[in-house]
C-alpha cells in the first residue's frame, strides 16, 4: 500500500484550492479520510477543475503538518476513487469523472437530459458519495446528525460482548427470531396481526421488493407503481422483464378510477404502494381509498405490496389519518414491507416482509437462494434497540425535529420562487414545483455541488417534470436557497 512519489512543485492557487480548511486530530475521522473527503468536496465545488495539478506529497505534508505517508495514502485513495490520476514522473492531477459532468462538457445544451436509465443509477450512486452533508437536498436519508450514532454503537458493543460464537455462524434464514417477535408487537400496534412465522427479514426494503418481485413476476408481466414513486424499483422491475405502469397519486392516495381502468387493461400481478408518507409526496392514504384499492385488487386478482418504510415518521392514526391496507386485509392479499434504514441506520440493512405463513416460507427460501441469510448482526442490533425501548424515544425526537422545520422550510421555499402546493403534516419530503424543468435545475445544481432529485426520476415514464423532491433535513443551508432563487429566476 506504500508508494514512493518524488515531491514536485505546484502553483499556489492549486495548493490553496486543494487544501482542507481544517484537519483535526480530535475528529472521529482519520486524517487520511479528512483529506480525501475535503479534496472530493473541492472537486465537486469546482474549486479544483479537471486537469489541475495537485500539490506534491511533500508540499501537502509540510503545509498541513501531516506525515507524507498520510498524504500518499489519501492521494492513493483519491486515485482509486477516480478523483485523481497519477501521471508517472509528473505528480497527481484532477481527473475527468462523473458521466453526467462529462455529458455536460460534451454537449452544453441544457435541454438535453442524460439517458433516463443511466440517470437513475447515477443519481443513486451520487447519493452514496460522501458529499458534504449540507449539499444533499435530494437525498432520501436524513442527515447523520439527525440520527443517533451513539445508540447504534452502544447496541453493537453490547452484542460484541455477548456470546461471541453467535457472530461466527449464519443467522436464521427467516431472520433473528426475537426481532421477528418484536416486529409482531410493532405490527399489532398498526392493527396488523402477524406471528413471527409470517415475518421474513431482508436486507432493507430494497431486497424485500426484489424478492417479492422475483417471486411473482415473469418477463412480460405488468407491475403497478405509484406515479410518482421511489425510482430505484423501476430499474429493478425492468431487469426482470416486467412492464412498469404508474398510477397517478393524488393527495389522499392513488386515482382509484384510473387504477380500476388500468387494472382491467393490464391485468397486473402486483401493485407496489406507499400507503403512509408516500415517497416523494409525504401524503397518506385515506381509509376510503384503502378500502377501494383492496376491492379493485380482489376484483382483478392482483397482490398489493404495501411498502411502509416511512411508518415511524408518522405520528400515528390517532393524531393524523393514515390507513394501512394490511390492517383491512390482514395479510391475505397484501404483502407488507417495513424497515429501519430511514429512522435508525441504513448501514445495518434491516428490513422485513410480513405476509401469510405459507408465503413467508416461500419468500424465505427464495431469499436463501439469493443471499443465504441477511445480517444476523444487524438484526440483533435492531432487536436490542427496539426491545430496550430506545427506538420509540428516538423516533419521537425525530418527528419533533421534522415538525420543527417542515413548515418553515416550505415558507422559505415559497419565498425563493418554488411552489409548495402539497403541505404534508408529517414526513421528511416536500414535493415541490419549481416551475421549470428540474432535470436542467439538477444539472445546474451539480455544477454548484448540490445533489437534487428531479421529478423525472420518480415517474415510470421518466419524462421531464417541473417537480422535485426536497429533504427538509437539508434545507437549513442558505446557499441552496440562494441557488434556487437565482436559477429558478433565470430558467422559468
Shortest Å, Cβ 338 to a second copy: 15
- Scored b (16 or more CB within 10 A) or e, 438-470 reads bbbbbbbbbebbbbbbbbbbbbbebeebbbbbb
Distance CA 315, CA 292 (A): 24
Shortest Å, Cβ 197 to a second copy: 7
Please choose, from the candidates 468, 451, 469, the residue with its C-alpha nearest in 3D space to the C-alpha of residue 134: 451
The C-alpha cell that represents 145 in the structure block: 446528525
Tell me the site size for a second copy, rule CB under 8 A.
78
**Which positions from 399 through 458 interact with a second copy, judged by CB under 8 A?**
none
User: Which of 29, 112, 191, 396 forms a contact with a second copy (CB under 8 A)?
Assistant: 29
Shortest Å, Cβ 66 to a second copy: 18
**Which positions from 153 through 212 interact with a second copy, judged by CB under 8 A?**
153-154, 156-157, 159-173, 177-178, 180-181, 185, 195-197, 203-204, 206-207, 210
Q: What is the largest CA-CA distance in the chain?
A: 74
Q: Which stretch binds a second copy (CB under 8 A): 360-368, 388-396, 443-451, 477-485?
A: 360-368
Q: Give every CB contact of residue 438 below 8 A, 6+ residues apart in sequence.
A: 452, 454, 455, 456, 464, 465, 466, 467, 468
**8 A C-beta contact, residue 366 and residue 355:** no
Name the residue nearer to a second copy (CB basis): 301 or 365: 365
User: Which of 290, 331, 335, 346 forms a contact with a second copy (CB under 8 A)?
Assistant: 346
> Over the Cα atoms of the chain, what is R_g?
24
Is 1 near a second copy (CB under 8 A)? yes
Is 257 near a second copy (CB under 8 A)? no
Name the residue nearer to a second copy (CB basis): 77 or 333: 77
Shortest Å, Cβ 196 to a second copy: 5
Shortest Å, Cβ 13 to a second copy: 29
Is 371 near a second copy (CB under 8 A)? yes
Mask for 113-152, x = binds a second copy (CB under 8 A): --------x--xx-xx------------x--xx-x-xx-x
**8 A C-beta contact, residue 440 and residue 429:** no
**Which positions from 72 through 111 interact with a second copy, judged by CB under 8 A?**
76-77, 80-82
Virtual CA dihedral for 321, 327, 328, 330, nearest 10 degrees? Answer: 170
Burial class for 478, CB neighbours closer than 10 Å (0-12, 13-18, 19+):
exposed
Residue length of the chain: 492
Name the residue nearer to a second copy (CB basis): 376 or 437: 376
**Which positions from 314 through 343 interact with a second copy, judged by CB under 8 A?**
341
Virtual CA dihedral for 401, 407, 408, 413, nearest 10 degrees? Answer: 130
Shortest Å, Cβ 333 to a second copy: 24
Shortest Å, Cβ 31 to a second copy: 13
Shortest Å, Cβ 47 to a second copy: 22
Please choose, from the candidates 187, 154, 146, the residue with its C-alpha nearest in 3D space to the C-alpha of residue 354: 187
Amino acid at each position: 500500500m506504500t508508494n514512493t512519489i518524488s515531491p514536485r512543485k505546484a502553483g499556489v492557487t492549486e495548493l490553496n484550492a486543494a487544501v482542507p480548511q481544517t484537519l483535526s486530530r480530535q475528529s472521529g475521522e482519520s486524517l487520511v479520510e479528512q483529506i480525501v473527503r475535503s479534496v472530493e468536496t473541492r472537486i465537486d465545488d469546482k474549486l479544483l477543475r479537471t486537469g489541475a495539478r495537485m500539490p506534491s506529497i511533500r508540499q501537502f505534508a509540510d503545509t498541513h503538518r501531516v506525515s507524507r505517508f498520510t498524504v500518499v495514502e489519501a492521494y492513493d485513495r483519491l486515485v482509486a476513487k477516480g478523483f485523481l490520476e497519477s501521471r508517472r514522473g509528473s505528480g497527481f492531477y484532477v481527473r475527468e469523472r462523473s458521466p453526467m459532468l462529462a455529458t455536460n462538457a460534451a454537449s452544453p445544451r441544457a435541454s438535453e437530459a442524460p439517458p433516463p436509465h443511466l440517470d437513475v443509477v447515477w443519481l443513486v450512486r451520487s447519493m452514496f458519495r460522501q458529499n458534504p452533508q449540507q449539499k444533499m437536498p435530494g437525498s432520501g436519508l436524513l442527515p447523520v446528525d439527525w440520527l443517533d450514532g451513539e445508540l447504534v454503537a452502544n447496541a453493537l458493543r453490547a452484542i460484541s460482548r455477548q456470546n461471541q460464537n453467535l457472530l461466527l455462524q449464519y443467522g436464521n434464514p427467516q431472520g433473528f427470531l426475537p426481532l421477528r417477535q418484536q416486529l409482531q408487537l410493532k405490527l399489532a400496534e398498526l392493527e396488523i396481526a402477524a406471528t413471527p412465522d409470517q415475518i421474513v427479514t431482508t436486507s432493507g426494503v430494497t431486497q424485500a421488493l426484489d424478492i417479492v418481485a422475483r417471486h411473482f413476476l415473469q418477463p412480460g408481466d405488468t407491475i403497478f407503481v405509484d406515479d410518482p414513486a421511489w425510482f430505484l424499483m423501476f430499474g429493478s422491475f425492468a431487469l426482470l422483464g416486467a412492464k412498469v405502469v404508474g398510477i397517478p397519486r393524488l393527495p389522499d392516495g392513488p386515482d382509484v378510477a384510473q387504477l380500476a381502468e388500468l387494472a382491467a387493461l393490464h391485468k397486473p400481478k402486483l401493485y407496489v404502494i406507499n400507503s403512509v408518507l408516500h415517497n416523494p409526496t409525504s401524503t397518506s392514504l385515506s381509509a376510503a381509498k384503502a378500502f377501494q384499492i383492496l376491492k379493485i385488487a380482489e376484483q382483478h386478482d392482483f397482490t398489493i405490496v404495501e411498502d411502509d418504510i416511512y411508518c415511524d415518521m408518522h405520528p400515528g392514526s390517532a393524531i393524523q389519518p393514515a390507513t394501512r391496507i394490511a390492517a383491512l386485509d390482514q395479510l391475505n392479499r397484501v404483502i407488507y414491507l417495513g424497515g429501519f434504514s430511514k429512522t435508525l441506520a441504513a448501514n445495518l440493512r434491516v428490513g422485513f416482509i410480513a405476509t401469510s405463513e405459507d408465503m413467508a416460507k416461500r419468500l424465505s427460501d427464495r431469499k436463501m437462494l439469493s443471499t443465504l441469510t441477511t445480517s444476523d448482526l444487524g438484526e440483533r442490533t435492531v432487536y436490542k434497540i427496539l426491545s430496550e425501548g430506545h427506538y420509540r424515544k428516538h423516533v419521537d425526537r425525530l418527528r419533533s425535529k421534522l415538525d420543527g422545520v417542515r413548515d418553515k422550510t416550505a415558507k422559505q421555499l415559497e419565498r425563493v420562487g418554488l411552489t409548495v402546493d402539497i403541505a404534508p403534516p408529517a414526513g421528511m419530503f416536500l414535493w415541490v414545483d419549481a416551475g421549470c424543468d428540474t432535470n436542467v435545475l439538477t444539472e445546474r445544481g451539480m455544477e454548484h455541488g448540490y445533489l437534487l432529485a428531479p421529478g423525472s426520476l420518480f415517474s415510470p415514464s421518466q419524462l421531464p417534470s417541473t417537480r422535485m423532491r426536497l429533504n427538509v433535513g437539508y434545507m437549513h443551508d442558505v446557499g441552496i436557497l440562494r441557488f434556487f432563487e437565482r436559477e429558478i429566476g433565470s430558467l422559468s
